[in-house]
Chains A and B, each alone.
Chain A
Amino acid sequence: MKINKNVALSDSGFVFNPSTGDSFSTNPIGLEIIKLLKEGKSMDYVKASLLKTYTIEEATLERDCYDFANMLMKFKLTEADEKAEN
């Protein structure tokens, strides 16, 4: 999944989508995920990286990332044609 190129991020977790005018707030781990995705990293890469950094079991992380990715799509922060992919 890819984050829309226009989406702007601030270090405080403020996310702005100029194409819809919507703004969002995310927590530090959410910001980390969005940043990595925006750099073009795959979701699998993101998960592996988080597993290394945080105390969390894989199953929970898997579930949370799945849910988070769905929210990114719902908020139209991802590139439209990649919808089907996780």
Chain B
Amino acid sequence: MKKLHYERPIIQRLNVGVMNKFGTKTEYAPVTHVDGNAVKGLLAKYGSPLFVISEKTIRKTFRDANRAFKTRYPKVQFAWSYKTNYVNAVCNVFHQEGSWAEVVSGFEYQKALQNGVSGNKIIFNGPDKSMEELTMAIENNSLLHIDHLDELYMIKELATKSKKKPRVAIRVNMDTGVYPIWDRFGFNYENGQAWDAINKIILNDQMELVGLHCHIGTFMLAPSAYGLAASKLSDLALSIKKKFKKSIQYIDMGGGFASRNTLKGSYLQGMDLAPSFDSFAEEITTAILNAGFAKDELPMLVLETGRALIDDAGFLLGSVISNKRLSDGRRATILDFGVNILFTSFWYDHKISPAQEFSQYSEDSVLYGPLCMNIDVVRENITLPPLKRDDQVVVHSVGAYNMTQWMQFISLRPAIVMIDKNDKPHLIRKRETLKSIETEEVLPAYLKDFKL
């Protein structure tokens, strides 16, 4: 007699009429493939865990966003926010789609140059730019977004020595009704700092003020805040026109659009919460179009959208190491990835799907990573079918910030694969080895030997 398929026995209390905290059934559908590639096959070939990026999804998301703005406004330019995901293959998909580069460090700046972005299409943001980095950026005609007065004076000093006139913008922070205000970056609008900085730059005449920049926050759920911010930047631009007879070339609205992830503690699923690109575009473009610019002097609109463009394209595939029962009776499942490579599990309740077929029975569990650390929790509460050792799971929407903020802690970082538009996988970052970590180490000779 043929034996039957085994599933671990489970029993679960039913809470009649009470909303339970273990999420909804949307997590139940098995995800056996990513863009036509079997999860099993990918993990067998590249090892577990594994980051997978869908090129198709990146391009589609980018085109949706681009269309939302371009159908409403004549001059739109996206600049890929490198810190969100600076794996070269990912950057280059965005560059192929027409994105410039937005960087916040010398290291990211060099990455953009090496990827082939011309200097005048690199936006250099952030509070920490060294003299050498500024010099290089000035020589390359890059767009320097000034964060503070010290930087303004550094650039002024360099401008006196350089034959080139640095092209600069200032970062402006402001009250948009969303708190806390990110006022540690840039110059404040309401108290007049921004206007003062603008005057300093224009009256000095050693720099060319080409733009105005803001980045009002991240994971923003209120499109109206962008409308307000766009009005305030437009106001500054029009005041410049009035006082100095000078047109600003662009207004840069930064990034911050929410992705479809679910923030921790949010009652609603991110899927139902995240505003569309159209609603952000509507607010921003309406504000600029109605601000009072002459038709031929409308500034270019720059966007540094990060997570909303890449989150959905990223998947993390992994395997179950073990199951446990906690002392309070909850089921705990230990996975082969944790907060070391899934940094965003500190922010989000990531959607996690089993990668194999299962029955409709499920149980409440905690998902832990493999680190020997109490903080290594991937999901505090999740309802999943019974998983056993070597079963596989797929974590959704992990494209933003994980592949840049991941830690080499306790274990080595996994490989990254990109699946192209014909469903062919390409290795775009190799799994780390002991050697990749130790190449930078130096062991003093006198510490080489020991006896135990």
Contacts and interface: CB of A to CB of B under 8 A. Distances in A.
Interface of A: 13, 15, 22-30, 33-34, 53-56, 60-61, 64-65, 67-68, 70-72, 74-75
B16 A26 contact: no
A23 B177 CA distance: 47
B359 interface: yes
A50 to B, nearest CB: 8
A54 B12 contact: no
Contacts of A15: 11
B179 interface: no
Given A53-B4, A55-B3, 5 more contacts: A27-B9, A61-B6, A64-B9, A68-B8, A75-B11
Q: Which 8 A-B pairs have the closest CB atoms?
A: A27-B361, A30-B9, A54-B6, A56-B6, A26-B11, A68-B9, A55-B3, A29-B9
27 contacts: A15-B11, A22-B14, A23-B13, A24-B11, A24-B12, A24-B13, A24-B14, A25-B12, A26-B9, A26-B11, A26-B12, A27-B7, A27-B361, A28-B359, A29-B6, A29-B8, A29-B9, A30-B10, A53-B4, A54-B3, A61-B6, A68-B10, A68-B11, A70-B325, A71-B11, A71-B329, A75-B11
A23 B325 CA distance: 21
B5 interface: yes
A26 B14 CA distance: 10
Interface of B: 3-14, 16, 325, 329, 359, 361, 386, 388
A28 B14 CA distance: 16
Nearest to B389: A60
B7 A29 contact: yes
Nearest to B358: A27
Nearest to A56: B6
Nearest to A57: B6
A55 B359 contact: no
Contacts of A70: 325
A39 B9 CA distance: 18
A59 to B, nearest CB: 11
